[in-house]
Structure 1
Amino acid sequence: MSETTDERTKEEFEQATSAELNDADIDKDRAIVGRDWASRSQEFLGTATPEAIRNFANGYGDDNPLFTDPEYGRGTRWGGQIAPPIMAAILNAPLHGERPSKQERGGSYRGIHAFVSGGTWDWYRPIRPGDTLYSFGGLESVEVKRSEFAGRSVVKVNREVKMNGNAEVVGVYRTLVIYTERKKARERGKYKNIEEPNYTDEDLAKIDEIYAAEKPRGREPRYYEDIKIGEALPPMVKGPLTTTDMVVFHAGGYGFVPYGLKTGRLAYQNRQRIAPFYIKNDYGVPDVAQRVHWDSAWAQAIGNPRAYDYGVLRECWAHHYLTDWAGDDAWVVAQHDEIRKFNYQGDTQFLSGEVTAKDGRDGRDGRCLVDIAFKATNQRGEDTMKGTATVAVPSREQGPALLPEVPADLQRKAIEMMARHGELLREGRQ
């Protein structure tokens, strides 16, 4: 690379990483809090085929036959294969509805880096092969905070209601997203001195020992009466993290919509659509800003020592942990997680958890709910994720685990949204 080209690339790099949080963007967001819109996004996957369900589960390391083997599913309470409930996060077909005006679209935050810092799920019914999912929702809250990592930051909670083609609510997903200025994060360099992992054969053998002992609960019911408050969940391990993990997660169906990963002519078209999302790399070639998840040089440019995982991937790991423990007959009712620290390439996450409460009624109302606290701890002994979950389990006395009821107002809104979708299709309008 010539000196002239090198200097030009550095100048463009500085411009691309020097965007500042804009009060106008924040004001636009505050004006639309609480509004619901139909999601017009076409995710990488819209319909849960048997293969899509299997590949998604495999994409975060889950080999539970309930999710991966249609024949196995026929012998369970579900009567067939179902998807891990968290698959609702990556399924979406366009839902036709009223479009927000330019003033109602919220802030664009161009050139500002976004981190998924946690999420909360409520699940109501399973996703089955052939289900196409649609969604609606909007911005639930927005606030400005001071961040140790990058100074001033904007914290947003987005809400998505996921429903199937029958307008039945499958789940509600709330994501916590933090917007930070890339340049300030780089200048502060809070994480720049984190030591690089270095594994001995003995270290790897200990990790492999955990992998070898892991298995899903499967068809053996985990009865409510047998669960004790304070009992520990078996350990699970994820890692050491590699670029391959990122590739496999994307191959399993994670599309990062509305930005997305494109190649060739499609990448060119995407660049025209969202030019600020493309930042030139060391060769002067525009590439996606999300390459922080596999390109350590770009991750360093925004203040991190190495490439790191997606928060959504760690949410899937937590879900894998819960469904492995719960077994085929149970249902994860809710999951809340907080991403506390980055999970860098080379890091290993050790998942642990315990039962913190039962529903207090000994299952007499038929609900049989169990509360779980879980966390992920890296090889440096740092807790990188903490969370809680509620699981409905079967009871010897009360029978099968019951699915939660969808709140009436939420179900009514879903029916209204789907009815409007059908009306617009009949009119030939989109």
Structure 2
Amino acid sequence: MPKMTTTHYKNKPGATTMVLESGRITQEGIDRLRGRLGSYNRPRQYGVGLFNEDASRSAIRHFCQGIGDSNPLYWDVSYAQQTKYGTLVAPPCFLYSVYWCSGRTGGLPGVHGFHAGNDWEWFRPIYMDDKISVQEQFTGLEEKESEFAGRILIQSSVTHYFNQRGEVLGKTRGWQIRAERTAARERQKYTFEPYQYSRDEILAIQEAVLGEEIRGSNPRWWEDVQVGDALKPVVKGPMSHGDITAFVAGCIGGISHGIQLREMQRHPSWGFTDPNTGAQEAIIRVHDIQEAAESAGLPGAYDYGCQRCCWMGHLLTNWAGDDGFVKKMYVELRRFNVVGDTTWCKGTVTGKREEDGEKLVDLEIWGENQRQQITTKGTATIRLPSKGAGW
């Protein structure tokens, strides 16, 4: 059964603190991982397979519900039939819901993994009813010292996504940080202090959320874009436990009861027992159980890394319009985004160029919270229609 130790929880009389099993980063463990470099993994979510293997109408809608994307190109069949695609398509980041590539390659049981970023390239649209398969290769392992937990590892993998014709839809390099939970907890680099919003701040956030601009069928011509142009922000927050739950339902899924218990018995470090309820919980619940997050040395329950990456993708597709195509997106996850935080997804045009007959725009993108801290940083490249091409 999953292992766990407990101590008295000072702030809650009669309760106990969750202390997740803490593994060690050992030279033996590192050597075993290095021996697997270059090998191909069997991509599986929760040990049971891919999540959305089919880009069905429902799967696309559920994904969009989970990230809060109301673009009719992904929802409305009648609308989509009038576009150049002739049918519904999925947002580029829908591929996260097929398989979440985060450098997750196993090994080092009990050593926590934090998704730290992705470097994406897309090659063609994801059409409704595409059948998607995945191939992942373990490509990188790097040792570093950090303020957060001392000795850490950075694991990376590269994943390719194929449609039913064997065409590459996209590829990504994902990486994660592996850190000892005990070391992170003892150093306490991050503390949790809920932000106290004023009523005016909440009203301003709600106005920004509802003021989202979807470019849609109005082409954004390459010729009209200027270096320095700012993208209309996409605002997410204050993030709730419900937002996280909706994302899990649409993008990651889960397992329960006997299926979960068997997975925990195969991999004891994959889960823990809540000392206050007796319930068996998957380790991924650090994202919505405050005490579990604190036990891993984190400031509090926080978003999924791929969730925030999808928000950045939402920013890009809103701006690009129906005739634009997101070719590349590089995202680094710099800080934790805890429940109650608000993220302003922003971007600016940094360059324009022509390459292989395509009209391209380069952008800097970032996520900024209510404390004006940059939590996410990256770049993107979008292909736009050209007036000269007769679009």
TM-score, normalised on structure 1?
A: 0.82
Give the corresponding residue for 1:156: 155
- More off after superposition, 217-226 vs 206-215: 206-215
Equivalent AA in structure 2 for residue 317 of structure 1: W
Q: 1:134 to 1:322 in 2, by over 3 A?
A: same
Q: Distance in 2 between matches of 1:379 and 1:21?
A: 35
CA contact (8 A) 2:63 2:97 kept: no
SS of residue paired to 1:253: helix
Task: Give the paired residue count.
Answer: 374
Q: For 1:101-138, what per-residue CA distance to the aligned partner results, in whole angstroms no more than 9, with x for missing partners? A: xxxx9751100110000101100111112111111121
CA contact (8 A) 2:96 2:251 kept: no
Give the corresponding residue for 2:252: 254
Distance apart, 1:276 and its partner CA: 1.4
> What residue ranges of structure 1 are gaps of 5+ in the alignment?
93-104, 256-260, 401-430
Q: For 1:58-115, what per-residue CA distance to the aligned partner results, in whole angstroms no more than 9, with x for missing partners? A: 21010001011122110001111000011112215xxxxxxxxxxxx97511001100
Q: 1:85 to 1:268 in 2, by over 3 A?
A: same
- More off after superposition, 112-121 vs 127-136: 127-136
CA contact (8 A) 1:28 1:106 kept: no
Q: How does 1:40-189 map to 2 (within 5 A)?
A: 42-91=49-98, 108-189=107-188
SS of residue paired to 1:313: helix
- More off after superposition, 105-114 vs 343-352: 105-114
Q: Distance in 2 between matches of 1:328 and 1:388?
A: 20
Q: Distance in 1 between matches of 2:271 and 2:164?
A: 35
Q: For 1:24-50, what per-residue CA distance to the aligned partner results, in whole angstroms no more than 9, with x for missing partners? A: 222222223233455466222211111
Alignment partner for residue 280 of structure 1, among 247, 257, 273?
273
Q: 1:323 to 1:24 in 2, by over 3 A?
A: same
CA contact (8 A) 1:246 1:294 kept: yes
Equivalent AA in structure 1 for residue 235 of structure 2: V
Give the corresponding residue for 2:33: 29
> What residue ranges of structure 2 are gaps of 5+ in the alignment?
10-14
Alignment partner for residue 333 of structure 1, among 327, 346, 366?
327
Q: 1:399 to 1:30 in 2, by over 3 A?
A: farther
Q: Distance in 2 between matches of 1:398 and 1:6?
A: 66
- More off after superposition, 314-323 vs 124-133: 124-133
Distance apart, 1:308 and its partner CA: 0.5
Give the corresponding residue for 1:387: 378
CA contact (8 A) 1:119 1:337 kept: yes
Which structure's CA Rg is the greater one?
1
CA contact (8 A) 1:28 1:107 kept: no
Q: Does the alignment pair 1:373 with 2:364?
A: yes
Structure with the higher strand share, 1 or 2: 2
Q: For 1:318-341, what per-residue CA distance to the aligned partner results, in whole angstroms no more than 9, with x for missing partners? A: 000000000000100000000010
Q: Distance in 2 between matches of 1:54 and 1:270?
A: 29
Structure with the higher helix share, 1 or 2: 1
CA contact (8 A) 1:39 1:134 kept: no
SS of residue paired to 1:222: coil
CA contact (8 A) 2:331 2:376 kept: yes
Q: Report % sequence identity.
A: 37
Give the corresponding residue for 1:197: 195
Q: 1:27 to 1:6 in 2, by over 3 A?
A: closer
- More off after superposition, 380-389 vs 303-312: 303-312
Alignment partner for residue 261 of structure 2, among 268, 278, 286?
268
Q: Distance in 2 between matches of 1:354 and 1:336?
A: 14
TM-score, normalised on structure 2?
A: 0.90
Equivalent AA in structure 1 for residue 49 of structure 2: Q
Alignment partner for residue 291 of structure 2, among 297, 305, 315?
297
Q: 1:13 to 1:397 in 2, by over 3 A?
A: same
Q: Does the alignment pair 1:307 with 2:321?
A: no
Q: For 1:264-288, what per-residue CA distance to the aligned partner results, in whole angstroms no more than 9, with x for missing partners? A: 2222222222221111213243311
Equivalent AA in structure 1 for residue 372 of structure 2: G
Q: Distance in 1 between matches of 2:150 and 2:21?
A: 15
CA contact (8 A) 1:366 1:398 kept: no
Distance apart, 1:301 and its partner CA: 1.1
Q: Supply the RMSD in Å over aligned alpha carbons.
A: 2.2
